[in-house]
Structure 1
Amino acid sequence: MQSLVKLALRHWPSAISALIVVSIVMTPHLLERMFVYFPIRQLDADPSLAGLPFEDVWLRTEDGLRLHGWFVPREGARATLLVLHGNAGNIGHRVAWIEMLRGASAHVLIFDYRGFGRSEGKPFEEGLYRDARAAYGWWEAAHGGSGEKLVLLGESLGGAVATELATRAPVAGLIVQSSFTSARDMARTMLPLGLLQPLAGVRFDSAARISNLRCPKLVIHGDRDEIIPFRLGRRLFELAAPPKDFYVVGGAGHNDLPWVGGAEYVRRIARFLEAL
């Protein structure tokens, strides 16, 4: 995952110059796809590479798209983590992370948004929310009557997608990892003010939603996050309604957080699940 973000950051100055030019002639959705999402279509790995059992999952969105994901079971688990990943790569880049999450005694359901991996379509904000609802619908149909709990785990941009889904679905808990308060707050840290207007329609406004959520929440952030400032993660926690907990991973950046956290990272997630 680190190489994906480094690639995006290396080209960021030229992307800003391009934004000035293309904002004159391009639609908001096209701008959003160019500057917010960095999908990779080719899937180079699956959970079998880590020796994990898994099921290919195919989801159908309310606007008719077919999305691909995996359900990775864990024997004896009483909860499923529905993982909403970040804005780059695809689920194939997250196999090692899936293995760690499964170590928290949870099933893992992870899927690619439209336009990522094997999923159809092209990404845009409302589309990602629809994709998350499709994943929830699959879990509800397949596991909703089993007595298992469903907990959302949103990583980076996926934190905003998970927070939005939590306003609509009766989930047992919400974990937000390395995420931000809103797209506008995030853009202010990366773009000169005059360049915000072309992307003004991109909201991902977790700040406006998390204060109304009553489910238990765990906010996780690395204190050396070089992509999403730590202060935005802390502010998101401050805005969240109780019950809530804030787990600061000392020394962790944006993409190495699970590995810097190591066994303690897994324990904190497991403890959160056990308390639900």
Structure 2
Amino acid sequence: MFLVLLLTLFLTGGCVEALENRFIFFPDKRIEATPRDRGLAYEEIYFTTSDGIRLHGWWIPGTGSSLTILWFHGNGGNISHRLDNITLRHDLLGTNIFIFDYRGYGRSEGEASEEGTYHDGDAAIGYLRGRRDVDPTKIVFLGESLGSAVAVEMATRHDCVALILESPFLSIAEMAKASFPLLPIGSLLQTKYDTLAKIGRIRAPLLIVHGENDEIVPFRHGRRLFEAASEPKEFYGIPRARHNDLYLIGGPAYLETLNRFFAKAIEAAASP
């Protein structure tokens, strides 16, 4: 009876939209630090989406690799909360890194939405392809958590040399089931991020990474996406890793796996 009453209140009180916003997007406007605080050279980047939203990001040049990682971050915080992760990848991978904030996050204008994040992704790709120091044939899309859904959508629209998904989920509806198993709200949500419906269309080399102890996105989501994906594909489970510590628990071994994956992706792209 309580659940029926609660669901009725959501439906009649207009609370589904409010719950949806709190469930999906957790932006933070304050930039707590910059790559300079980690001893990294970088550029402050501002660029504009097709619908007129000004976005902010960081360009961190690599140390020898010709690859560029375009980083689609998760639903919480902003780019400054990824600095430790950025530093580790920069030091051990040597690739260029471009990470930006979606609309409503950090110094980016606007308000977050599913369609908005797709506009943001399109604009970030356009910006990168316009840089003279970027090889447009060697851009890797990296999506973490919510960013994995954005990265998959981008990979259906734009070419990339490889696609990496960290802690990906099947869809918002499936996440609602996992997070609110006794409250059947999945079908009521307007935001879809239906990665499962899109993953089979990806033709770039795919690496899915998931923590075996992920407390937010069930490990089975990553496995099911892997099963639905087309070749070439790889799955890398990290024992003991939770949702936000893949790079810490995975450590150098995971980054070495990334380097091997990159090498194979570049070789495949160079093959006739």
**TM > 0.5:** yes
Paired AA for residue 131 in structure 2: A
Q: Cα deviations across residues 114-143 of structure 1 (Å, max 9, x unaligned)?
A: 000000000010100110111000001114
Q: Extract unaligned runs of 5+ from structure 1.
A: 1-16
Name the CA shift for 1:245/1:20 in 2 (closer, same or farther; >3 Å): farther
Structure-2 residue corresponding to 1:245: 234
Structure-2 residue corresponding to 1:213: 202
Paired AA for residue 75 in structure 1: T
Structure-2 separation of matches of 1:27 and 1:144: 48
Name which of 169, 191, 201 aligns with 2:158: 169
Pair 1:101 & 2:123 matched:
no
Structure-2 residue corresponding to 1:113: 102
Structure-2 residue corresponding to 1:90: 78
Name which of 178, 187, 191 aligns with 2:176: 187
- Contact 1:86 1:156 (C-alpha < 8 Å) held by counterparts: yes
Cα deviation for residue 23 of structure 1 reads 4.9
Cα deviation for residue 101 of structure 1 reads 1.9
Q: Cα deviations across residues 41-86 of structure 1 (Å, max 9, x unaligned)?
A: 0001111111111111112111100000001111212111100000
Aligned identity (percent) is 42
Structure-1 separation of matches of 2:250 and 2:209: 10
Structure-2 separation of matches of 1:145 and 1:36: 32
Paired AA for residue 194 in structure 1: P
Structure-1 separation of matches of 2:6 and 2:48: 35
Q: Extract unaligned runs of 5+ from structure 2.
A: 266-272
Pair 1:142 & 2:131 matched:
yes
- Contact 1:78 1:148 (C-alpha < 8 Å) held by counterparts: no
Structure-1 residue corresponding to 2:65: 77
State the SS of the aligned residue for 1:82: strand
Pair 1:196 & 2:196 matched:
no
Count residues in correspondence.
259
Q: Cα deviations across residues 136-166 of structure 1 (Å, max 9, x unaligned)?
A: 0000111486466000000001000000000
Structure-1 residue corresponding to 2:33: 45
Cα deviation for residue 35 of structure 1 reads 2.3
- Contact 1:32 1:124 (C-alpha < 8 Å) held by counterparts: no
Structure-2 separation of matches of 1:20 and 1:262: 47
State the SS of the aligned residue for 2:83: helix
Name the CA shift for 1:216/1:34 in 2 (closer, same or farther; >3 Å): same
Structure-2 separation of matches of 1:240 and 1:52: 36
Pair 1:66 & 2:39 matched:
no
Structure-2 separation of matches of 1:180 and 1:148: 27
User: What's the C-alpha RMSD, in Å, of the aligned pairs?
Assistant: 2.0
Structure-1 separation of matches of 2:236 and 2:51: 37
